[in-house]
Amino acid sequence: MTSPAKIKTIKGETGDWEIVIGMEVHAQVTSNAKLFSGASTEFGAEPNSQVSFIDAGFPGMLPVINEKCVEQAVRTGLGLKARINLRSIFDRKNYFFPDLPQGYQISQYKDPIVGEGEVTIDLKDGESIKVGIERLHLEQDAGKSLHDQSPDSSFVDLNRSGVALMEIVSKPHMRTSEEAAAFLKKLRAIVRYLGTCDGNMDEGSMRCEIKNVNSMRFVQMAIEHEARRQIEVIEGGGAIVQETRRYDSKANETRSMRAKEDAHDYRYFPDPDLLPLELEQAWVDAIAATLPELPDEKKARFMAQGLSAYDASVLVAERELADFYEDLARGVDAKAAANWLNNEILGRPNRDGLSITQVPVGAAANNAIIQMVSDKTISGKIAKDLLDIVWTEGGDPRQVVEARGLRQVTDTGAIDAAIEAVIAANPDKVEEVKAKPKLAAWFVGQVMKQTGGKANPAAVNAALKTRLNLPDEG
Amino acid sequence: MSDLVSMTLAEARDAVRAKKISSRELTGAFVAAIEQARPLNAYITETADRALAMADAADKRIAAGTPGALEGLPLAIKDLFCTKGVRTTAASRILGDFVPPYESTVTQNLWDAGAVMLGKTNLDEFAMGSSNETSAFGPVLNPWRAQDSNQNLVPGGSSGGSSAAVAADLCLAATGTDTGGSIRQPAAVTGRVGLKPTYGRCSRFGIVAFASSLDQAGPMTKTVRDAAILLTSMASVDPKDSASVDLAVPDCEKLLDGGIKGLRVGIPKEYRVEGAAAETDALWSKGADWLKAQGAEIVEVSLPHTKYALPTYYIVAPAEASSNLARYDGVRFGHRAKDVRDIIDLYEKSRGEGFGAEVQRRILIGTYVLSAGYYDAYYARAQKLRTLIKRDFDQAYEKCDVLLTPATPSPAFAVGAKTTDPLEMYLQDVFTVTVNLAGLPGITVPAGLTANGLPLGLQLIGKAFDEGVLLRAALALETAADFKHSPAKWWTA
């Protein structure tokens, strides 16, 4: 592992350019209630149905911190191996906007709840790099302006107003759009493992600036476009101005939203309605004690069980997948289990539009199939057929094997009979195989066919060798 | 009738509870008095029907033998407290006809104790002022006039409607709020008692915010005992206010007993300010003598950062106000300007039309002191000074238990006398703002009349959450001063 990454550049007209990328990610805190009010946070409700007088900025209303959101921020900080600040301060960020009812957003400015940490990201070429975390702070989300409801007025939906967000700021440690995408994926995996954010970008649970970037693929495209744009500007003799840009996914380009001259003076100051947030180390320690095994630790454990780095990182990318794998691999060879999952299972849910938790053949049933292969109850070929059967028709794999007579035949009498039948039907091939021992494979196939695929291939091989007097290496 | 309305809260409580009078009779007397006193402009909204209905309900509870602590007692509520179903204005046009769908914690506590609401009293707009002249509903007149004078005087501010209502017998007692002196100064210039409790004692929930770190609700009453009674019901530990301190509320009336023998009373030398009337200084010395005569020990103390208190206050309070008042944008409630081009125009016109000059001035000051490039020079330094001012008190309280100071630099002044000079108006708060900056409890007690017959008060400042000692010292002062004066009811003529 190296940190920061080895030098990576992209070519411009006048030379090579190094892209330096830092990220700010907004992650919605998983909690039933908002950051400073008791209103619900459920997604997709009727407009303005989940709004308290606090969220609507009514006179005399006061914010009261939701302990659950604080706990989630601390949990996330611990998952990012970050420093937890036992004293943090909520500030007001003042600006006027119709969907900002109080006229200020309660955020954390100088004293965030979480300080420096780090995330290890895995790249396709097997390289792992560390990306520093600068800070994580809690803040309120704003509401939403709706401009398409009426030709002459705009509407405001305050359901999101006051929902708790974690703003996670990375250090500028990334050098390619691939690294940026990998960082986001890893961050998403960590918060999902922790249960602190559901990571659904399209519901607005995770967002990324450049503004308006709402999928992982768009993140990568937006960065690539923006890097090209900046190189062209500099090579053309121009200078990059500090500004906020907005990504248009249809045109695949970024456009200026706000130049620095228009930058708001947010007049940050400590929110006088809220006392400084003071945490006790013992409380933080209690949260730390309940952290689940995180992707990196899980990956290391899977590798220790014999999986490749690649297989392990695919499996730990989603907690549900890792859990599925672990149930599936219980008591069987790890590598065989991972291969089965990768080759036989993972293609199917995508094809059928299912998530791993929705597949019709659960981890336990798959585990039974793998066990039957490993104890030679069934052949690998039959295992695939069996999976097809239980996938479409349901049923317990062991019962299906018994009911349909799919057990592998190791009875030499039955195998010998099948061999005799194949020899009797193909005298010419018997002559050929004596000259070309490689034809033995053809005989194996025929015998397997004769036994309906149930014969143990190893037993067939051995019996054929004896019967046809073939050399061992054949 | 006049006997009924001139009763103290304690006398009325005892009479109602003993069924000597009904709440209905008492409330009816106040409703009539309020009608007659409309020239004072003390109330923005009178709620006579509601008051009488509440009185009837109270009488039923008394008959049933289940009276609350304030059962059937008619009170006036400063129109900064949100009252469910009753228009709440903060004396500003910007709130329009806003009717809160919720009740403030303090007023809810009062209704839970059986109190009756007579109406909502006038105030300086958003509680910003010291004379009740910034109200969008017009100035309140002080019931007091100087001897042989018909000149209208201000009732102090910002709780000027409440102070006038208490002094003119238009309620048994009233609620006020105090951000820099808004309970104590108006009480002092109307010859009545005003108590600002320790910050965190009364919930701020449902009170229209001015400066959140300074705002505190408290009682405005005829006597110290009444203040103790009313505070007991107003105060509560409220999970809806993060600044609410989790400390059980005592029965403050019981804390009045015991006298002040051995009490150490500090006299802060920095409170001898230039420009204060000679009578103010003389009364201050007399107050010290009164307490000494009852067994208190008088000690000179120093609060060295006092001279920075007003500038500090006039940075911190407007800064918070500029942000607190951002929600009045014409979008969701209150006044919305007509014929606007776009959202910015809507903001500018609604706020320009809705806020009065003093509120606009403070929003501008507050916005300025929080702006990039000025924050460190103003807001950050003011916060440092605030810490030093608090420390001054901590150090003084190593030598004494309570502080005695003047309440105001001068008695009530004429309507219009200081409206052209904001700085002179701000000087009204010179003795009171330090208490808010330090979050301490303070009380003003009427202590004498000027040569031309206007009331003057003295202020006592206590330790945080030590309202008991403060009230005991105030009672001693009240007893010695024996202030029995009331204004002539010229408005009924």
The model's pLDDT over B102-137, given as tens digits with 9 standing for 90+, comes to: 999 999 999 999 999 999 999 999 999 999 999 999
Say yes or no: B244 and B379 in one domain. no
Task: Tell which of A363, A386, A403 closes a domain.
Answer: A403
Q: What are phi and psi of A105, to 5 degrees?
A: -105, 135
Does residue B448 lie in a domain region?
A: no
- Which residue, chain included where needed, has tokens 């690998």? A380
**Which positions in chain A touch B101 (Cβ < 8 Å)?**
53
Q: For residue B105, what is the nearest residue in chain A, using CA coordinates?
A: A60
Say yes or no: A128 and A199 in one domain. yes
**CB B100 to CB A58 under 8 A?**
yes
Render A416-464 in DSSP notation, one character per residue: HHHHHHHHHH-HHHHHHHHH-GGGHHHHHHHHHHHTTT-B-HHHHHHHH
Residue among A102, A267, A268 minimizing CB distance to B327: A102
Q: Is B424 helix (H, G, I), strand (E, B) or coil?
A: helix
What residues contact residue B240 under an 8 Å CB cut-off, 6+ apart?
A62, A64, B105, B203, B205
In sequence order, the β-bridge partners of residue A241 are none
Catalytic residue ranges of B: 78, 158, 182
Say yes or no: B100 and B208 in one domain. yes
Q: Is A272 on the interface with B (CB under 8 A)?
A: yes
pLDDT at B203 over 50: yes
**Which candidate, A168, A171, A123, places its Cα nearest to that of A6?**
A123
* CB A41, CB A50: distance < 8 Å: yes
Does residue B82 lie in a domain region?
A: yes
Say yes or no: A135 and A177 in one domain. yes
Instruction: Name which of A22-26, B291-295, B356-360 the model is least confident about.
Output: A22-26
**Which positions in chain A touch B207 (Cβ < 8 Å)?**
60
So what's the pLDDT on residue B461? 98
Residue among A61, A265, A274 minimizing CB distance to B371: A265
Say yes or no: A103 and A58 in one domain. yes
Residue B175: burial class (beta carbons within 10 Å; 0-12, 13-18, 19+):
buried
Q: Is B120 helix (H, G, I), strand (E, B) or coil?
A: strand
**Which positions in chain A touch B206 (Cβ < 8 Å)?**
60-61
Q: How far apart are CA A124 and CA A244, in angstroms?
A: 31
Does residue B269 lie in a domain region?
A: no
* CB B313, CB B438: distance < 8 Å: no
Q: How far apart are CA B185 and CA B458, in angstroms?
A: 10
* CB B249, CB B236: distance < 8 Å: yes
pLDDT at A473 over 80: no
CATH of the domain at B123: 3.90.1300.10
Residue among A64, A101, A154 minimizing CB distance to B239: A64
Say yes or no: B15 and B113 in one domain. yes
The CA radius of gyration of chain B, in Å to the nearest whole number, is 21
Half-sphere exposure of B454 (CA within 13 A, CB side): 28
- A186 CA to chain B: closest CA distance, Å? 36
Higher local confidence (pLDDT), A354 or A388: A388
Task: Tell which of B383, B406, B425 closes a domain.
Answer: B383
Say yes or no: B230 and B370 in one domain. no
Say yes or no: B336 and B201 in one domain. no
Q: Is A110 on the interface with B (CB under 8 A)?
A: no
> How far lies B434's CA from each of A58, A79, A363, in Å?
30, 46, 70
Residue B488: burial class (beta carbons within 10 Å; 0-12, 13-18, 19+):
exposed
**CB B329 to CB A65 under 8 A?**
no
**CB A273 to CB B101 under 8 A?**
no
Say yes or no: B148 and B217 in one domain. yes
**Which positions in chain B touch A101 (Cβ < 8 Å)?**
327, 331-332
So what's the pLDDT on residue A3? 46
**Which positions in chain B touch A57 (Cβ < 8 Å)?**
327, 332
Q: What is the 3-state secondary structure (H, E, C) of A186-222?
A: HHHHHHHHHCCCCCCHHHCCEEEECECECCHHHHHHH
Residue among B98, B323, B333 minimizing CB distance to A92: B323
Q: What average pLDDT does chain A have?
A: 87
- B242 CA to chain A: closest CA distance, Å? 6
- Which residue, chain included where needed, has tokens 């990220």? A23
Render B365-390 in DSSP notation, one character per residue: HHHHHHSTTTTIIIIIHHHHHHHHHH
Q: How far apart are CA A235 and CA A419, in angstroms?
A: 76
Q: Is A64 on the interface with B (CB under 8 A)?
A: yes
Range of the domain at B377: 307-383
**Which candidate, A22, A30, A77, A27, places its Cα nearest to that of A206?**
A27
- Residue of A58, A100, A104, A161 to mutate for B, most B C-beta atoms under 10 A: A58
In sequence order, the β-bridge partners of residue B460 are B404, B443
The length of chain A in residues reads 474
Q: What are phi and psi of A307, to 5 degrees?
A: -80, 155
So what's the pLDDT on residue A274? 97
Q: How many domains does chain A have?
A: 3
- B51 CA to chain A: closest CA distance, Å? 24
Does residue B403 lie in a domain region?
A: no
Per-residue pLDDT tens for B66-113?
Answer: 999 999 999 999 999 999 999 999 999 999 999 999 999 999 999 999
Does residue B37 lie in a domain region?
A: yes
* CB A59, CB B98: distance < 8 Å: yes
Q: How far apart are CA A425 and CA A446, in angstroms?
A: 11
Q: For residue B369, what is the nearest residue in chain A, using CA coordinates?
A: A267
Structure tokens at B231: 């505070």
Does residue B364 lie in a domain region?
A: yes
pLDDT, mean of residues A409-428: 83
**H-type alpha helices, B265-339:** 278-293, 309-324
Say yes or no: B195 and B73 in one domain. yes
Q: How far apart are CA B183 and CA B203, in angstroms?
A: 16
Render A305-339 in DSSP notation, one character per residue: TT--HHHHHHHHTSHHHHHHHHHHTTTS-HHHHHH
Q: Is the peptide bond before B304 cis (omega within 30 degrees of 0)?
A: no
Q: Is A102 on the interface with B (CB under 8 A)?
A: yes
Q: What are phi and psi of A87, to 5 degrees?
A: -130, 120
Q: Is A59 on the interface with B (CB under 8 A)?
A: yes
Does residue B342 lie in a domain region?
A: yes
- Which residue, chain included where needed, has tokens 């010695």? B480
Say yes or no: A161 and A81 in one domain. yes
Render A164-182 in DSSP notation, one character per residue: EEEEEEE-S-B-SHHHHHH
* CB A301, CB A200: distance < 8 Å: no
Does residue B341 lie in a domain region?
A: yes
In sequence order, the β-bridge partners of residue B448 are B456
Say yes or no: A442 and A457 in one domain. yes
Q: How far apart are CA B234 and CA A186, in angstroms?
A: 53
Q: Is B207 helix (H, G, I), strand (E, B) or coil?
A: strand
Say yes or no: A424 and A365 in one domain. no
Residue A374: burial class (beta carbons within 10 Å; 0-12, 13-18, 19+):
middle
- A268 CA to chain B: closest CA distance, Å? 7
Q: How many domains does chain B have?
A: 2
- Residue of B208, B237, B324, B346 to mutate for A, most A C-beta atoms under 10 A: B324
So what's the pLDDT on residue A187? 94
Task: Tell which of B368, B383, B398 closes a domain.
Answer: B383
Say yes or no: B145 and B237 in one domain. yes
Say yes or no: A187 and A55 in one domain. yes
pLDDT at A4 over 60: no
Task: Tell which of B383, B400, B417 closes a domain.
Answer: B383
Residue among B325, B347, B379 minimizing CB distance to A269: B379
- What is the pTM (predicted TM-score) of this model? 0.90
Does residue A473 lie in a domain region?
A: no
**Which candidate, B360, B428, B456, places its Cα nearest to that of B134?**
B360
* CB B24, CB B59: distance < 8 Å: yes
pLDDT at B1 over 50: no
Q: Is the peptide bond before B158 cis (omega within 30 degrees of 0)?
A: yes
**Which positions in chain A touch B104 (Cβ < 8 Å)?**
60
Say yes or no: B82 and B223 in one domain. yes
Q: How far apart are CA A10 and CA B81, in angstroms?
A: 63
So what's the pLDDT on residue A428? 87
Q: What are phi and psi of A254, to 5 degrees?
A: -105, 145
Q: Is A390 on the interface with B (CB under 8 A)?
A: no
Residue A261: burial class (beta carbons within 10 Å; 0-12, 13-18, 19+):
exposed
pLDDT at A114 over 60: yes
* CB B296, CB B417: distance < 8 Å: no
**Which candidate, B192, B208, B210, B207, places its Cα nearest to that of B155?**
B192
So what's the pLDDT on residue A447? 86
So what's the pLDDT on residue A1? 41
The length of chain B in residues reads 493
Q: Is A39 on the interface with B (CB under 8 A)?
A: no
Per-residue pLDDT tens for A313-365?
Answer: 889 988 889 999 999 999 999 999 999 998 888 887 767 777 888 888 889 99
**Which positions in chain B touch A58 (Cβ < 8 Å)?**
100, 102, 327, 332-333
Task: Tell which of A269, A289, A309 closes a domain.
Answer: A289
**CB A58 to CB B333 under 8 A?**
yes
Structure tokens at A316: 């730990």
pLDDT, mean of residues A68-94: 98
Say yes or no: A274 and A364 in one domain. no
Say yes or no: B204 and B56 in one domain. yes
Per-residue pLDDT tens for A247-303?
Answer: 887 888 888 876 655 667 999 999 999 999 999 999 999 999 999 999 999 999 999
Q: How far apart are CA B234 and CA B218, in angstroms?
A: 7
What residues contact residue B237 under an 8 Å CB cut-off, 6+ apart?
B244, B245, B246, B247, B248, B249
**CB A58 to CB B204 under 8 A?**
no
| Number of C-beta neighbours around residue B324 at 10 A | 25
Query: Residues of B near A (CB-CB distance < 8 A)?
Result: 81-82, 88, 90, 95, 98, 100-102, 104, 204-209, 211-213, 239-243, 319-320, 322-323, 325-327, 329, 331-333, 343, 347, 367, 370-372, 375, 379
Is the predicted ipTM greater than 0.90, yes or no? yes
pLDDT, mean of residues A178-190: 91
Structure tokens at A294: 């995180």
Range of the domain at A206: 10-289
Structure tokens at B117: 């609401």
**H-type alpha helices, B431-466:** 433-438
| Number of C-beta neighbours around residue A64 at 10 A | 19
pLDDT, mean of residues A224-236: 87
**Which candidate, B194, B163, B161, B175, places its Cα nearest to that of B38?**
B161
- Residue of B99, B316, B327 to mutate for A, most A C-beta atoms under 10 A: B327
Q: For residue B366, what is the nearest residue in chain A, using CA coordinates?
A: A267
Q: How far apart are CA B41 and CA A292, in angstroms?
A: 66
Instruction: For residue A269, give the H/E element and its range.
Output: strand A269-270
Task: Tell which of A403, A436, A451 closes a domain.
Answer: A403
**CB B104 to CB A60 under 8 A?**
yes
Per-residue pLDDT tens for B22-47?
Answer: 999 999 999 999 999 999 999 999 99
In sequence order, the β-bridge partners of residue A157 are A144
Instruction: For residue A231, give the H/E element and its range.
Output: helix A216-235
**CB B242 to CB A64 under 8 A?**
yes
**Which candidate, A187, A140, A186, places its Cα nearest to that of A166?**
A140
**Which positions in chain B touch A63 (Cβ < 8 Å)?**
242
Does residue A5 lie in a domain region?
A: no
Q: How far apart are CA B249 and CA A136, in angstroms?
A: 39
**Which positions in chain A touch B205 (Cβ < 8 Å)?**
60-62
So what's the pLDDT on residue A207? 58
Q: How far apart are CA B79 and CA B157, in angstroms?
A: 13
Say yes or no: A276 and A332 in one domain. no
pLDDT at B369 over 70: yes
